[in-house]
Amino acid sequence: MHNESTSAPMNFELLGRSSSTEARIGKLTTAHSVIETPVFMPVGTLACVKSLTSRDLEDLGAKIILNNAYHLMLRPGAEEVKRYGGLQKFMAYNGSILTDSGGFQVFSLEGLRKVTDEGVKFQSHIDGTYHDLTPESLVQVQENLGSDIAMVLDECPSGGAERDVVQKSMARTTAWAKRCIDARNRPETAWFGIVQGGIFEDLRHEHAQAICGLPFDGYAIGGVSVGEKPEDIERIVRHTAPLLPQERPRYLMGVGTPADLVRGVAAGVDMFDCVMPTRNARNGQLFTHTGKINIKNAHFRDQEVPLDAACTCYTCQTFTRAYLRHLFVNRELTFYRLATIHNLHFYLELMREMRQAIAEDSFNEKEFLSHIGE
């Protein structure tokens, strides 16, 4: 059963709101860092943001990152991470860590998993071994990892799921959330509940009431960016975010583009994560203030100018488009680091600029969208 603690594992303070939108600024405090919100969390699936060191993350100002409990459970193993002293010591990172349950990864293993009310039996994508994942075992995994914030196990239906399928996943997610609450033993870990409901606004409302009635430290919007149309994602986020408690952090899981962040902030979301800036960087797609560019294009070969003249990151202050293209087409490993630094800087700076605008009550959604080339 859950052990009551004399102090909360996390504190969230709402500092201000936009007068023209639902946008808000706040301060999220854990044992490891003070995080200004709205915030973007770089994704470090296996206790590593690909191509970067923990010092790189700190230089970028990343106060919180995301690790994935499913992947870390399989290797090196949650017990191993606990033996090393938890994720922060394991990866030598001084900021906060949120662990995603891995529910999305498990449910994407089509043909390799079986879901029941008890939990999920799945076959490892690494070595084919079978594993059982229940709300209780997932709590144990994340407590062993020692994350600051942990996500409950939820059932994530596909974006095109029919209404009855979505309703069944909602009921199962609610039941699993209650079991997660009862299984907690580590008072230093904050837990977030997850609201499902597909693209159906009434189901989102229904499930928000159910999940927000449970004693979580924060609440997330799940089941978006899993195959829906962009307009459906935007509609559901704008509908659902205001349904979540004002006094708790609101987290939009796995979304998305710079424009998605702007729209999410305007809807009242506080926390975001997405693999897009890091994955796209490795594929040569870079975000700039005039829109996305593909550095492999031949016309960049002779461009002795910064990647983005408006950017202050190390990459843009030091190297040219021509050099970056040279690295990319020759598959030099240095490219992945430089490109990742740039894309994450772009995302984190966008969040900083939006926080400043909200604080000054000058946040304008359309202006921000125009500034990022959308």
Q: Within a 13 Å sphere around the CA of 51, how many CA atoms are in the beta-carbon half? A: 20
Task: State phi, psi for 94 to the nearest 5 degrees.
Answer: -95, -5
**Distance (Å, whole) CA 251 – CA 356:** 20
Q: Please report, as a single letter, which amino acid is at residue 357.
A: A
Select from 222, 219, 153, 150 the least CA-distant residue to 191: 150
Query: Tokens 């079986």 sit at which residue?
Result: 114
Task: State phi, psi for 127 to the nearest 5 degrees.
Answer: -130, 5
Kindly list the distances between the CA atom of residue 100 and the CA atoms of 117, 139, 145, 320, 335, in Å, as whole numbers in the listed order.
20, 11, 11, 36, 28
DSSP string for residues in 183-251: H---TT-EEEEEE--TT-HHHHHHHHHHHHTS--SEEEE-S-SSS--HHHHHHHHHHHGGGS-TTS-EE
Examine the residue annotation and report whether 273 is marked as an active-site residue of this protein. Answer: yes
Active-site pick, 100, 148, 217, 270? 100
Examine the residue annotation and report whether 100 is marked as an active-site residue of this protein. Answer: yes
Active-site pick, 154, 260, 273, 308? 273
Catalytic amino acids?
Answer: 100, 273
